[in-house]
Amino acid sequence: MSRLQDLAARIDAREATIGVIGLGYVGLPLAVAFARAGFRVVGFELDAEKVRALARGRSYIADVSDAEVAEVTGSDRLSATTDFAELSRSDVVNVCVPTPLTKSKDPDFSHMAKAVEDIRKRLRAGQLVILGSTTYPGTTHELFRPLLEDTGLRVGVDFCLAFAPERIDPGNEQFKVHEVPKVVGGETRLCTELASQVFATVFDRVVPVSSSQAAEMVKLLENTFRAINIGLANEVALMCDRLGLDVWEVIEAAASKPYGFMKFLPGPGLGGHCIPIDPTYLAWKMKSLNFPARFIELATEINAQMPWHVVRLVGDLLNEDRLAVNGARVLVVGVAYKPDVSDVRESPALDVIELLRAKGARVDYHDPHVPELALGHGSLKSVELGEEALAGADLVLILTHHRSIDWARLARHAQRVLDTRNATRDVREGREKIRKL
């Protein structure tokens, strides 16, 4: 029996040790899921505080509870370490590290490259390596396969290599980790089969594709689809503003059609860990092939201008009462990139606040999930959303529609409201104070 055949048998018997590099919003839910499926799981994390928290049975992300962590750490199914030498003991290694953009909007592979180098140093026959971090088509095959095969071990013969994109949606209570189908593409047929076998122990459905490149493209298509359609919704919002129409009324009416239309909503811009970033990975790759990604470029341009549009609307609303942005007190409500999460990565609220401050506005913010916000060389702290704060602001600007906020109370006590998320759609009292995107 070959080492890889032995690995297949060990996976079936839940005797394989699963390693997960990166215990953030993607890696920790995956590690917990494997541990609950009966595997011995070792998490590898550079942040020692996260390792200590897990050792105490504590979670640091909203989508995994303390009870879930305590269950698997208490039974010794899950442990975490900062010692990457332990990778040599893992039979399956999942890479779940960030893949952001550089300041010049080029892909930043530094985290993934470090993870693969850590694996390469300890790679042994019989291991399965699965990359899950979002990247451009060809990364696994062109960049990381040669690095791993430089050890003298051969993909599909001595070890296996696959790509299986993460599909985590932070704060989504409708779909749990195991309920979202897992796409898997290996460097060889055996690689796809082994990776699919592993994920079938956790996910309700596994979707194998023909190659790692296809799997990489799947993830980029998913989020490019969303970015482009949000860009369309934002452009429609700009059109409706020019035409004097209510974009929210138009979209809701269009969404009544039972076929041929999918509802996307406008907003102050794009935010989060995927949608603003993933299309840029694809456009970057295609640029190297002299293929202009025109839809992506246009949607990116439209979405990027939305914070400026919001600031212009702030000025227009204040100007109606002969007030200037310069010196105005603006209370921003919600700075997370989406409702009911604490994540501010790429949040358009950051751009809106900086633009307002550059124009001389005095900006405070309230967000029940974000107690402090880093901005430039300083920071702001969330203020209480009391009657005094609402009435004392020249304008209340809604940028994130958290469910815990009483929008009727907000409208009742605020002097003026600019709602970029249609959060006040059901408000009756005080509607005359509200202007929408």
Using CA atoms, how far apart are residues 418 and 403, in angstroms rounded to an integer? 18
Residues 6+ apart with CB under 8 A from 224: 278, 279, 282, 295, 296
Residue 425 lies in a domain: yes
Q: Which run of H or of E encompasses 129?
A: strand 128-131
65 C-beta neighbours (distance < 10 Å), count = 12
Residue 215 lies in a domain: no
172 C-beta neighbours (distance < 10 Å), count = 15
- Point out which residues pair with 17 in neighbouring strands: 40
CA nearest neighbour of 279 among 222, 351, 348, 212 = 222
Tokens of 148: 């791993």
Residue 95 lies in a domain: yes
Task: Clarify whether residues 191 and 238 are in a common domain.
Answer: no
* Domain termination residue (choose one: 210, 241, 263): 210
Q: What is the CA radius of gyration of the chain?
A: 24
Cα dist from 235 to 221, 329, 355, whole Å:
21, 29, 21
Domain range spanning residue 262? 226-436
- The amino acid at 47: D
* Angle of CA points 308, 310, 313, to nearest 5°: 110
Beta strands in 45-89 (DSSP E): 78-81
Residue 217 lies in a domain: no
Tokens of 408: 């009727």
Annotated active-site residue 274? The verdict is yes
Residue 323 lies in a domain: yes
- Point out which residues pair with 20 in neighbouring strands: 43, 94
Task: Clarify whether residues 15 and 58 are in a common domain.
Answer: yes
Using CA atoms, how far apart are residues 218 and 96, in angstroms rounded to an integer? 17
Q: Which run of H or of E encompasses 366?
A: strand 362-366
Task: Clarify whether residues 368 and 256 are in a common domain.
Answer: yes
Task: Clarify whether residues 302 and 384 are in a common domain.
Answer: yes
- Reduced 3-state DSSP string for 255-281: CCCCCCCCCCCCCCCCCCCCCCCHHHH
Residue 129 lies in a domain: yes
* Strands of 206-208's sheet in order across: 78-81, 40-44, 17-21, 92-95, 128-131, 160-163, 182-186, 206-208
Catalytic residue among 160, 191, 240, 274: 274
Give the three-class secondary structure for 355.
helix
Give the three-class secondary structure for 362.
strand
Task: Clarify whether residues 263 and 189 are in a common domain.
Answer: no
Using CA atoms, how far apart are residues 181 and 436, in angstroms rounded to an integer? 37
Residue 219 lies in a domain: no
Tally the residues of the chain.
Answer: 437
DSSP string, 394-435: SEEEE----TTS-HHHHHHH-S-EEESS-TTTT--TTGGGEE
Task: Clarify whether residues 151 and 78 are in a common domain.
Answer: yes
Task: Clarify whether residues 278 and 198 are in a common domain.
Answer: no
Task: Clarify whether residues 232 and 144 are in a common domain.
Answer: no
Task: Clarify whether residues 189 and 234 are in a common domain.
Answer: no
Residue 1's pLDDT is 58
Task: Clarify whether residues 272 and 410 are in a common domain.
Answer: yes
Task: Clarify whether residues 176 and 232 are in a common domain.
Answer: no
Instruction: Note the helical H segments in 178-261.
Output: 189-199, 212-243, 247-254
CA nearest neighbour of 418 among 430, 402, 405, 433 = 433
Helices (H) and strands (E) in the chain, counts: 14, 15
Task: Clarify whether residues 361 and 427 are in a common domain.
Answer: yes
Residue 246 lies in a domain: yes
Contact 317, 395 (CB under 8 A): yes
Tokens of 232: 């369309």
Tokens of 277: 């970033």
Per-position pLDDT tens, the chain of length 437: 589 999 999 999 999 999 999 999 999 999 999 999 999 999 999 999 999 999 999 999 988 999 999 999 999 999 999 999 999 999 999 999 988 887 777 888 899 999 999 999 999 999 999 999 888 999 999 999 999 999 999 999 999 999 999 998 877 778 888 899 999 999 999 999 999 999 999 999 999 999 999 999 999 999 999 999 999 999 999 999 999 999 999 999 999 999 999 999 999 999 887 888 888 889 998 998 999 999 999 999 999 999 999 999 999 999 999 999 999 999 999 999 999 999 998 899 999 999 999 999 999 999 999 999 999 888 999 999 999 999 999 999 999 999 999 999 999 999 999 999 999 999 998 899 999 99
* Domain termination residue (choose one: 210, 242, 269): 210
* Domain termination residue (choose one: 162, 177, 210): 210
Contact 332, 355 (CB under 8 A): no
The CATH number covering residue 51 comes to 3.40.50.720
What total of structural domains would you count in the chain?
A: 2
CA nearest neighbour of 169 among 204, 131, 135, 219 = 219
